[in-house]
């Protein structure tokens, strides 16, 4: 079965937006929220800044008709 997903980017406010969407659609996140600080260090890539560690790397919320609403924070 085909499905549709929408991916949203927010300026440091993804968690608040998705908590609101969760209350509106009365659904739970598909998986726990993944944070920027959860990602393992990659060779040649600096870790996220301390202020960005708790930002949302990925969140997914199933909503109506099999549609998946996904999002991430967009740090400066």
Q: Do the Cβ atoms of 68 and 62 come closer than 8 Å?
A: yes
> What is the model's pLDDT at position 20?
98
- Please return the burial class of 46, using the count of CB atoms within 10 Å of its CB with bins 0-12, 13-18 and 19+: exposed
The C-alpha angle 36, 38, 40, rounded to 5 degrees, equals: 105
> What is the model's pLDDT at position 59?
98
Q: pLDDT digit string (tens) for 1-55?
A: 678 899 999 999 999 999 999 999 999 999 999 999 998 888 988 888 899 999 9
Does the pTM surpass 0.95? The reply is: no
Element holding 23 (H helix, E strand): helix 14-25
> What is the model's pLDDT at position 1?
67
Mean pLDDT over 57-76 rounds to: 93
> Could you give the domains of the chain?
1-32+55-76 (3.10.180.10)
Across the beta sheet with 34-35, the strand order is 5-10, 68-73, 56-62, 34-35
């Amino acid at each position: 079965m085909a499905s549709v997903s929408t991916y949203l980017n927010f300026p440091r406010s993804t968690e608040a937006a998705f908590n609101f969407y969760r209350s509106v659609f009365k659904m739970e996140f598909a998986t726990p929220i993944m944070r920027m600080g959860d990602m393992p260090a990659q060779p040649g890539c600096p870790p996220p800044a301390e202020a960005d560690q708790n930002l949302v790397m990925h969140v997914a919320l199933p909503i109506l008709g099999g549609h998946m609403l996904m999002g991430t924070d967009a740090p400066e």
